[in-house]
Amino acid sequence: MGALRPQTFDRAPVWLPPSASFPSLRFDNSFVRELPGEADTLRAVRGVRGACFSPILPIPVNGPRLLAHSSEVAGLLDLSEADCASDAFLQIFAGNALLRGMEPYAACYGGHQFGTWAGQLGDGRAIGLGEVLNAAGQRWELQLKGAGSTPYSRSADGRAVLRSSIREFLCSEAMAHLGVPTTRALSLVSSSDRVVRDMFYDGHPRSEPGAIVCRVAPSFLRFGNFEIFAARGEVEILTLLADYTLRHHFPQLGAPSPETYAAWLTEVCRRTAVLLAHWMRVGFVHGVMNTDNMSILGLTIDYGPFGFVDHFDPDFTPNTTDADQRRYRFSNQPRIAKWNLVKLAEALFPLVRSIPALEEALAVYTATYEAEESRHYAGKLGLATVDKALLDELFQVLALVETDLTLFFRCLSDVPVHLGDAASDEALLAPLADATYAPQGQGQGEGEDPSSNPSAGPARARTVAWLRRYGAFVRAEGRPPELRKARMDAVNPKYILRNCLAQLAIDAAEAGDPSGVVELLDVLRRPYDEQPGRERFAAKRPDWARRRAGCSMLSCSS
């Protein structure tokens, strides 16, 4: 990666001449054109009043290097592979150069963090470059994360380290390929600048290589964009922002009115419920479900200390900041989403002006989530409908021993439950052997004799009993075993972005080899497919990752 140098703050990006531009990038910057922004372009941290954004330029970096890019996202922007391989592409998405038509800015928003109102937050290390209209008429906002400080950076430097950037880049694309609504990632650029971070806020900062990710979404508007103006009593700006959002992102709802605002909140509740059901379906834990990290479009946004559940644990949270309270633990995510929507509803009350209308919208979240959860788990079990008692019992069984959540559901399609009583206990359990972190039906520690563990028998018996009960539902529906397996494998991924996989790619990239990032991205493009030769990417968490920083322990700076 070359010599590492401290970052500088006294440089400005260059404006590229028209001859160096990408004709496909047609900018139409509605957010800065239609909403009030600051006139001040200073980088100094301050309270921003009466404005939805602050104009601000990225701070260039030294020694930029393109480590990876998403060809799928490039396609959304009508960019060719030759475009992505050009020096102009590298310089633009490192924050070193700008194209004519770009109008960089940082957005103003607030939020509730860990249940407490935090006041003004804003884009502290993200700078929007502008909005692109592609050939299909779709609007895509380009945003650089880690491009330097803004008026909302507080005491931080606005930069991002390589490890967190790799994680965000990979997971944005992994979630999209899993079928989960999400923001996307176009590019991952490293720099030779150093960024100082105290990973666990324990007084041990260290200097790390920096990086910049270009994030892409129809909009990065979040609940907190609306909360800040409601909290300040700036109803006029709240109205302008709401009307802008309706006009560009929910035009089907019609002209602004109290009824339209209520319908809009209802749609946000519906989309959020769909999103949360997807998170739970694939075992994703966001880690920081603050209201400023909740997308108004129902997208997964702001990948920080996230993690996919390895062994099934309803209390799992990857965020060390939340280790004691576990507010954002895996099983609590649907409830927290409802809490966050309540805060959004409170912010929109000056527009809706009807508590019953707000309550009706929030009720849609609950009904939608319950329906989506039932639909997803029926699919994961290969059933047309799912019995709630059967599902509740399954979760109890999964907790009897350390059971890998992803591999259990993937392997379940191979369990011969269609044979009924003709299948022995051993035949039922055999396909699930690779899904447990201890021999199936046992729960002993490493090296412990299974026969000395009194829980071995009961755990094994309950697992077999559940499988036989499940098999009765399968046989009652009469679906051929091959069709059942195909349908289950189409919704139960074999490959997910495990923290241990991301960490191995990070280790190699920090040593100068980004090939692991590129290969992992390619694996994650087909999460539901068998990929011969890549089985190691589908393996359960290795023992070395159980307590390693970056695998089991993450923070908001991770």
pLDDT digits (tens, 9 = 90+) for 501-524: 999 999 999 999 999 999 999 999
The more confident residue out of 220 and 454 is: 220
If one compares 40 and 227, the residue with the highest pLDDT of the two is 227
Is 447's pLDDT higher than 50? no
Could you tell me the pLDDT band of residue 554, with boundaries at 50, 70 and 90?
confident
**Residues 509, 426: Cα–Cα separation, whole Å:** 44
Structure token digits, residue 85 = 């391989």
pLDDT band, very low/low/confident/very high, at 198 (cuts 50, 70, 90): confident
The per-residue pLDDT for 6 is 40
Backbone angles phi, psi at 276, to 5 degrees: -65, -35
Across 20-24, 130-134, 420-424, 470-474, least confident range: 20-24
Residue 339 lies in a domain: yes
- pLDDT band at 214, cuts 50/70/90? very high
500 belongs to a structural domain: no
pLDDT value of position 228:
98
Q: Is the pLDDT of residue 441 over 60?
A: no
> Tokens at residue 322, please?
């939340």
Same domain, 333 and 409: no
Residue 288 token pair? 């920081």
Q: pLDDT confidence of 453, banded at 50, 70, 90?
A: very low
**Whether residues 109 and 212 fall in one domain:** yes
pLDDT digits (tens, 9 = 90+) for 278-299: 999 999 999 999 999 999 999 9
Do 274 and 213 share a structural domain? no
Does 440 have pLDDT greater than 50?
no
Mean pLDDT of the chain: 93
The residues that bridge with 131 in the sheet, in sequence order, are 141
Identify the domain boundary among 329, 350, 380: 380
Of 362, 380, 398, which marks where a domain is finished? 380
Whether the pLDDT of residue 371 is over 60: the answer is yes
206 and 345 assigned to the same domain:
no
Tens digits of per-residue pLDDT, 257-273?
999 999 999 999 999 99
What is the domain count for the chain? 3
- Report the pLDDT value the prediction gives residue 10, as an integer from 0 to 100: 57
Q: Which residue, among 261, 268, 269, 492, has the nearest Cα to 369 in the 3D structure?
A: 269
Kindly state whether residues 15 and 145 are assigned to the same domain: yes
In a shared domain, residues 183 and 308: no
State residue 456's pLDDT score: 61
pLDDT over 60 at 380, yes or no? yes
Give the C-alpha distances (Å, rounded to integers) separating 58 from 16, 69, 126: 14, 20, 9
pLDDT digit string, tens, across residues 32-62: 999 999 998 899 999 999 999 999 999 999 9
Give the per-residue pLDDT at 551: 85
| Residue 217 pLDDT greater than 50, yes or no | yes
Indicate whether 220 and 282 sit together in one domain: no
- Whether 183 maps to a domain, the answer reads yes
Determine the pLDDT at residue 119. Answer: 98
Pairing of strands 160-161, 184-197: unpaired
The whole-number pLDDT of residue 450 equals 40
Of 353, 380, 407, the domain-final residue: 380
Task: Please check the confidence at residue 240 and state whether its pLDDT lies above 70.
Answer: yes
Give CA–CA dist 124/401, Å, rounded: 42
- The residues assigned a catalytic role are 292
**Same-domain status, 247 and 352:** yes
Is 222's pLDDT higher than 60? yes
Given a cut of 80, whether residue 527 has pLDDT beyond it is yes
The DSSP H or E segment spanning 369 is: helix 355-380
Q: Which structural domain range is residue 396 located in?
A: 388-478
Q: What does the DSSP 8-state code read for residue 189? A: E
The answer on pLDDT for 451 being more than 50 is no
